[in-house]
Structure 1
Amino acid sequence: MRALLVDRSAPTGLRLGQTPEPEPAPHQALIRVTATSLNHGEVRFGLREAPDGAVLGWDAAGVVERPAADGSGPAGGTPVVTLGIDGAWAELRAVDTDWIGTVPPGADPGAVSTVPVAGASALRALHRAGPVLGRRVLVTGATGGTGRYAVRLARLGGAHVIASTGDPGRHGDSLRADGAHEVVAEPLDVSGPVDGVVELVGGRHLVDAYSRLAPGGTLVAVGHAAHQGENFPLGALFGDQGRHDRSIVTFFLPACTGLAPDLTWLAHRVAAGELDPRISWRGGWDRAADAIDALLQRRLHGKAVLEIG
């Protein structure tokens, strides 16, 4: 089968080539991939760390080519959206049925392919933050793929949504269109306490966002785009002066259980137009190098989608 292969002799570190078809385990379905969406982590770290010949990729939409031998998961021919730790940048991938969501017939595979990492991370982070109806929720790094989903889902859940972005003048209108009630440059610009934080930047942003938590509030550390450590000043973790019972929790999507229903629910919301994935770049997989460069240079404020085949 054809695939995008890691190749450090190539100028871009990738080349289109041939690789053996995957052999699914009994609990896995074989998926014919039609679209994949790129994530910052896989292109920044995966390309650097993977061996030559590896097939990367976390997110993919497609059709079940061969259902799982153990009878779990969707039937052959079903449109699906899939999550995996690799294998999405290929014509075929083997996927655990626990990580397969079903998709309405006729849905745009490119739009649906944005769901697994960005959409599911945002959804699970909001679940972890607690009920959002009528509460104030801050999303940092809100212009990225996960941030956009978090803003839309929090608004859909009835929250008062505050979006943090480095350039409110440039991105404020689009974030408000996504559902943000307020747009700020950084967490310290937030007036008043917040009940929950979906934190996607790390470093100083995480420390500052934590300082805005109300008693009983929860910050969910999802992303670490700043690639900086967190240094809390003395007193930041004291419980007095309105700082009682505030929590920081870590997050790792592959450790979550029950992802198939989440992927299905999100895919149906995207297909119905209730969630806009904000695709910023779209093209054939022969142009993967262009998309990856734009993503690494942070020229994209949304998702990049590669159409396979």
Structure 2
Amino acid sequence: MIAVVTTGTGGYDRLELRKVPVPVPGPGEALLQVLAAGINNTEINTRLGWYSASVTAATAAADGDGTADRPDGGWNAATPFPFIQGTDCCGRVVAVGPGGDAGGIGARVLVRACMRPHGFGSAETVWMGSDFDGAFAQFVKVPAAEVFAVTCDWSDAELATLPCAYGTAENMLHRAGVAAGDRVLVAGASGGVGLAAVQLARRRGAEVIAIAGKAKAAESVDVVVDNVGGAGFGAMLEVLRRRGSFVTSGAIAGPIVDLDLRTLYLKDLALLGCTGWDAPVFPDLIAHVERGDIRPALAGTFPLDRIAEAQRLFLEKRHVGKLVLIPPPPG
């Protein structure tokens, strides 16, 4: 099969289009033909080794800063280079491992990218495309329990906008306990996670204030949903009401921020970091899609072999929504 193999930490030269063996599903696994694969910050961050404590700049600033090895630069730990990235997958089940249920073969599915290998009572997570081979390929092998059939009129590319962005946004709102009547400030609202948070917060009956670019909110809010970070962090805390919550899933504008602890404790604020998805998050998302509660935010598509061009455009942050890669059909 054709795949994009990320060979190590560094620039776009680390993305190599190769022919590699089609994975063989084992017990409890399913093989999917990848129909579409979304692009996320995490793939770029991992390639750059941005998760390393030695990196303090924004993702875009770190792009192209050399090929220094950063063994601590992976999502959970050391990244398993060389490997295939791709966290978002819309696919079709084409085979199951020994003893598996063949009744799902042929179904169009989404993959829950954030997996809890020891159950939801454990905090340990494993991520497709970060901890093991992902969807930047014609086929991907995944645990069968993480495959969710979906029936809707969305295109393959539209479905591929969903898993990481909407899963992250729904998990943030779930963890923050956003409910009807809350006022929610969403930073970076033109990006994948931001747009998802706007839709999902509205679905919960919250009043949403969306920030894109350098705009600032003058109103006080109950919850701030942020995956931007950087210099705007302090201002976000200032607009929170007493006992408000700041929930974050990223730091694309910079991971090192100034925190006035007096603001934190005098306003009785809660700071929530969100990575691992709770149990109801992904099944709820599938239900939202099938009921028509949310709509996709697709900014554009690229063939798989134009991944470097797509990632460059992604880092420019001039698009609204998600960019998606389309692998060539097998054969």
TM class by shorter chain equals 0.7 to 0.9
User: Letter of the aligned partner of 2:128 in structure 1?
Assistant: I
Deviation at 1:70? 5.6
Residues 7-66 of structure 1, C-alpha deviations (whole Å, 9 max, x = no match): 579964323221122233423211111100100221233365667642111001011112
Match of 1:229 in 2: 256
3-state SS, counterpart of residue 238 of structure 1: helix
3-state SS, counterpart of residue 263 of structure 2: coil
Q: 1:140 to 1:68 in 2, by over 3 A?
A: farther
Match among 160, 173, 184 for residue 126 of structure 1? 173
TM-score, normalised on structure 1?
0.81
Q: 1:292 to 1:306 in 2, by over 3 A?
A: same
Distance of 2:279 and 2:97 partners within structure 1: 19
Match among 199, 218, 225 for residue 245 of structure 2? 218
User: Letter of the aligned partner of 2:40 in structure 1?
Assistant: N
Asked if 1:44 is matched to 2:45, the reply is yes
Q: 1:196 to 1:73 in 2, by over 3 A?
A: farther
The 10-residue stretch of structure 1 (82-91 or 230-239) with the greater mean CA deviation from structure 2: 230-239
3-state SS, counterpart of residue 300 of structure 1: coil
Match of 1:190 in 2: 218
Q: Which runs of 5+ in 2 are unaligned?
A: 50-72, 74-78, 114-126
8 Å contact 2:2–2:19 — kept in the other structure? yes
Q: 1:26 to 1:301 in 2, by over 3 A?
A: same
Distance of 1:68 and 1:114 partners within structure 2: 27
TM-score, normalised on structure 2?
0.76
8 Å contact 1:219–1:249 — kept in the other structure? yes
Asked if 1:249 is matched to 2:272, the reply is yes
3-state SS, counterpart of residue 301 of structure 1: coil
User: Letter of the aligned partner of 1:289 in structure 2?
Assistant: A
Distance of 1:96 and 1:46 partners within structure 2: 24
The 10-residue stretch of structure 1 (82-91 or 72-81) with the greater mean CA deviation from structure 2: 72-81
Match of 1:209 in 2: 236
Match of 2:22 in 1: 21
Match among 124, 145, 150 for residue 197 of structure 2? 150
Match among 101, 107, 131 for residue 78 of structure 1? 107
8 Å contact 1:13–1:47 — kept in the other structure? no
Match of 1:58 in 2: 87
3-state SS, counterpart of residue 81 of structure 1: strand
Q: 1:89 to 1:216 in 2, by over 3 A?
A: same
User: Letter of the aligned partner of 2:25 in structure 1?
Assistant: P
Q: 1:121 to 1:72 in 2, by over 3 A?
A: farther
User: Letter of the aligned partner of 1:4 in structure 2?
Assistant: V
Match of 1:281 in 2: 300
8 Å contact 2:95–2:102 — kept in the other structure? no
Deviation at 1:305? 0.8
Matches within 5 A, 1:293-308: 293-308=312-327
8 Å contact 1:74–1:102 — kept in the other structure? no
The 10-residue stretch of structure 1 (22-31 or 284-293) with the greater mean CA deviation from structure 2: 22-31
Q: Which runs of 5+ in 1 are unaligned?
A: 168-184
Deviation at 1:137? 0.5
8 Å contact 1:64–1:74 — kept in the other structure? no
8 Å contact 2:2–2:138 — kept in the other structure? yes
3-state SS, counterpart of residue 197 of structure 1: strand
User: Letter of the aligned partner of 1:85 in structure 2?
Assistant: M
Match of 2:121 in 1: none
Match of 2:33 in 1: 32
Q: 1:290 to 1:130 in 2, by over 3 A?
A: same
Asked if 1:92 is matched to 2:131, the reply is no
> What is the alpha-carbon root mean square deviation over aligned residues?
2.6
Deviation at 1:307? 1.1
User: Letter of the aligned partner of 1:158 in structure 2?
Assistant: G
Distance of 1:283 and 1:108 partners within structure 2: 15
Deviation at 1:103? 1.3
